[in-house]
Amino acid sequence: MASEKKRPSLTDSAESVPETKKLLTAISTPSMNGNGTDRSNSQPATLLFRSQAFSIPQPTTVLASSQVLSIQRPSPSAGHYYMIRDSVTRRVIAIREGILIVLPESEIRRDFRKVTSHWLCYERSRVLCFKSTITGCYIDIKKSNASLFPLKAAKEVPLQMTGTGYYSYFTIRVQDAREGTYSLLMWISNGLWPVKISSSNHEQLVVCSQDYSGTMWEFIPV
């Protein structure tokens, strides 16, 4: 009587089964490129079983919400264009019909043919200036208003556009590094004065007394 072929049992190891041993040998043998180098390291690991191939997924790192870092905008620097926006009200410093104005961002998008809100930042005498290349004018202050400084009491002095930029000297101070917000300070009469949106007219840009921190501005590259 012909001897029956022994069937593998669950207790047999993988190496003791001939078919499995051949399969493991084939998997462990590195495949060679034409130049004689091992190409197994450049391909994802696979496990063969009955003519099917299953890709072994590579480990994935999952970050908790507390580990996700916010994207921080770089601080304003000379030679770049910015849109200057209030981080709270989302009102933007702009020019409409030659007049310096602060408008909602949605209105600027709607009236983009009449409104410009891109400002070129450049350095002059080691401080910053902001100029509209569309009108050629600067964010500035009237000479008569500049004589009011230093301010002795809480007061708002309006800013405007001028062609000379005689008093257009600004510096910035970080308010919140993670959120990318800054105070915009104007240099007048040997002092730095915060720039903000007027409390009585939300379309007017003003400088105010030093005891006020000013508006928290975002400088968005454009």
What pLDDT digit, counting tens, does each position of 126-147 carry? Answer: 899 999 989 999 999 998 888 8
Give residue 209's pLDDT. Answer: 84
For the record, the structure tokens of 136 come out as 């050629």
Contact (Cβ atoms closer than 8 angstroms) between residue 182 and residue 200: no
Mean pLDDT of the chain: 78
Whole-prediction pTM: 0.66
Give residue 8's pLDDT. Answer: 54
For the record, the structure tokens of 140 come out as 């500035």
Classify domain 80-221 at the CATH class level.
Answer: mainly beta
What's the average model confidence in pLDDT over 189-218? 89
Domain assignments of the chain as residue spans, ordered by start: 14-55, 80-221
Contact (Cβ atoms closer than 8 angstroms) between residue 180 and residue 142: no
Give the pLDDT band of residue 53 (cuts 50, 70, 90): very low
Give residue 211's pLDDT. Answer: 73
Q: Which of 28-42, 50-64, 68-82, 150-164 has the lowest mean pLDDT?
A: 50-64
3-state secondary structure of 28: helix
Give the pLDDT band of residue 115 (cuts 50, 70, 90): very high
Give the pLDDT band of residue 88 (cuts 50, 70, 90): very high
31 pLDDT more than 80? no
Give the pLDDT band of residue 56 (cuts 50, 70, 90): very low
27 pLDDT more than 80? no
Q: How far apart are CA 197 and CA 201, in angstroms?
A: 8
